Structure 1
């Protein structure tokens, strides 16, 4: 099904995870781990994802780069904010790439009051698409993003067994 792409494209996905919030947070707060979980072959994460400019999992802001295998585009992002108590992390693109002029995202891990062994996971994103973007590339990127929350869900379902 084709995706209708607007110049400002907003996405919101959520799911229930088969792991407690602390376990989920320990994984998803690390950009290297979440990229590995959500990369269905579209990123060559084993060689191309790196912390840059002194970034690390425990540093905020923290910059990291990776390449998209679908077009070789270099993606430069940074963890912009993190709230360890509320288990929320925001990140953004620091340079345009592959037709995406700007990108901001937030992940949240929430407690489920009546089921402490499970978590509620949210992922919101805003992409601004460049006027001259190759819409086929942008559509492919958005298509991958549409599936990433399910990949997180599936990852924790496997580890729960």
Structure 2
């Protein structure tokens, strides 16, 4: 894989669950981190008085493979569109800047299924350890499947 200084990603999947049920879970950043990272993330917690009902809402977690602290926040949310934006609060492990948006969309003719979209833009530091950055990007590439699989198990 060739890592560009500006790296964009888009992943989507059909989720075998009602869009409101999916949204109720994934709009909570800590729940989403637990689903997509499992044991690869530790010490997942809100910062200060933040929580799933607040925007902005900072949260931290540590990626186990590199023991790297990730500081992010929920930066925006649209409840009607089931859309939420996240961003990094400081550079970490070679990623200078990170912005991501998740969105859950209805499937018009099947109310018990939905589309889950995840777009991400990463700005990679010029002196980044590309092996670490590639590991992070590889992890991200599998995260939509983790969300799909989480709801398929219900």
For normalisation by structure 1, the TM-score amounts to: 0.94
Aligned residues: 154
Which SS does the other structure have where 1:41 is aligned?
helix
Q: Are 2:119 and 1:124 equivalent residues in the alignment?
A: yes
Q: Are 2:105 and 1:110 equivalent residues in the alignment?
A: yes
Equivalent positions of 1:21-60 (< 5 A) are 21-44=19-42, 48-60=43-55
- Distance in 2 of aligned mates of 1:4 and 1:41: 27
- Distance in 2 of aligned mates of 1:69 and 1:56: 23
Partner of residue 147, structure 2: 152
List, as ranges, runs of 4+ consecutive aligned residues in structure 1 with deviation greater than 4 Å.
Answer: none
Partner of residue 7, structure 1: 5
- Distance in 2 of aligned mates of 1:63 and 1:86: 22
Q: CA RMSD in A?
A: 0.7
Please list every run of 5 or more consecutive structure 2 residues that lacks an aligned counterpart in the other structure: none
- Distance in 2 of aligned mates of 1:125 and 1:4: 17
Equivalent positions of 1:64-79 (< 5 A) are 64-79=59-74
Which SS does the other structure have where 2:41 is aligned?
coil
Between structures 1 and 2, the one with greater strand share: 2
For normalisation by structure 2, the TM-score amounts to: 0.98
- Distance in 1 of aligned mates of 2:91 and 2:55: 21
- Distance in 1 of aligned mates of 2:62 and 2:73: 14
Q: Are 2:87 and 1:89 equivalent residues in the alignment?
A: no
